[in-house]
Amino acid sequence: MKLRRHLLLAGLAGLGLRLFFVRRFATSAGDTAIYEKLARNWLDHHVYGLFVGGQLTPVDLRVPGYPAFLAAIYALFGRTQLAVMLTQAALDLFTCFLTAALAGFIAPKAQRRRVAVAALWLAATCPFVANYAAVLLTEVLATFLTALALLTFLHAAAGEEIDPDSVERSAMVYPNWFLGGAIVGLGALVRPETPLILVAVALVLVVRWRRPVDWPKLLRAGALMAAGLALPLVPWATRNWRTLHRVEFLAPRYSQIPREVVPRGFYAWTQTWLVRFRDVYLVPWKLEDEPISIEDLPACAFDSAEEKQRVAALLESYNATLLISPEWDREFAALAAARTARHPLRTYLWIPLGRVATLWFTPRIELLPYSGQLLPLAQKWQEDPVDVCVTLGFGLLNFLYVGLALAGARIALLRQEGKDSRLQLGLALLAAFILLRTVFLTQIETPEPRYVLVCFPAVLALAALAWTKPQATSGAQA
């Protein structure tokens, strides 16, 4: 009865939090209009495309998973954003239960209920993904599919421990490898970097099954996962080949439309200094839409007064037309190469580490009507104490969740009884996924903090392990 009370109360708290965000902070974001246009054109004209120059043109600049999600909701409930947000609120609440299942699966057997309940409460009350229920973006759907895939792979890997000749093993393991791959494939149609989950799984399995006697298991799992991954992606690639005359399994690297100039040199230059999310708004996101002011660039974007003058001249020529040219882009590529040659550690180590801090510890208030600024603290407090409290509170939550995850992993390892293979497997897979995704995100052009939200089911499942009791008292349950 106590467990049911926890499930009910945590579920109600989680639903209330998400409905609060929908009611109070519903908003739109930059990509919202693109997703809506794709979904509406798909429904109205049966074309997955956008109007370019007044003509409806098939495109592949966004994978079709989220537009398909929107189109389905519009077809069932009418074309209102509220219907989408309410659906996302329900879906994100279900993700909380998947997070609890993740934590319970890797916890010591006698304490699975206790740890799962802790994970459910952590997930239900976490505002970060819940906030995204109130906006038409991919985060809620991508987080749900990520949590489901991780849980499926954990079941498959743990099932390999059963007697290899048993019927139970075949029925339990083989479908899960394939199903996990298919879930990742669906996730890749929502967020194209989702196959990083498979990279994490592969790394863990290669280490786990490095002995020759285990190589057949490794090959079988890899083949089943690859087959599952291909199932959702092949129809999308076929459509692109037939419609756009090129094979594209995901989306173009820079989300460009045909014949659009990609400023690779400019992006290479920003890779040598861009760390703060604020600078994403002021520089890359303005390209080809607004003027870029030299005064908005931080001092770290220049190594000398001569370099600053060179950048100012390039920006001045861009601001005159808001157009980029191959020659202009090559100038920035030369700047990037020179800066990297002077300070290679800056480009390849310090900037990525700075981006890690941005991704994980920036206050996640980008969808909320708050500034996110704390300095100078006395002045900000005098101007708007609510703004300061929300910004500080959200910022500290990042440290709390990450700190709990590290503590939970350590506590569970110290308090395991013997060699707990499920715990070790779970820790390895969840940690590998978080680390791989973080490293990947440090290398993209716009390090947005929202891109690590899909890691939070893993983070919160690890955090819940902090509620693991010493084995001598593990009989007491939540």
Q: How many CB atoms lie within 10 A of CB 3?
A: 13
Among residues 436, 276, 462, the alpha carbon closest in space to that of 362 is found at 276
| Short-list 468, 453, 470, CA closest to 126 | 453
Find the mean pLDDT for residues 445-465: 95
37 HSE (CA, 13 A, CB side): 15
pLDDT of 257 reads 64
Q: What is the pLDDT of residue 253?
A: 78
pLDDT at residue 170 tops 80 = no
Place of tokens 């693109």: 34
Ranges 163-167, 214-218, 385-389, 399-403: which has the least confidence:
163-167
pLDDT, tens digit (0-9, with 9 covering 90-100), for 243-274: 988 888 988 877 766 666 789 999 999 999 99
pLDDT value of position 474: 42
pLDDT at 1: 54
**R_g of the chain computed on alpha carbons:** 24
Query: pTM score, two decimals?
Result: 0.92
What average pLDDT does this structure show over 446-467? 95
Residue 167 has pLDDT above 50, yes or no: no
pLDDT digits over 58-77, tens only? 999 899 999 999 999 999 99
Instruction: Answer left, alpha or beta for residue 259, where phi above 0 means left and psi between -120 and 50 means alpha.
Output: left
The percent of residues above 70 in pLDDT, for the chain, comes to: 94
pLDDT of residue 341: 96
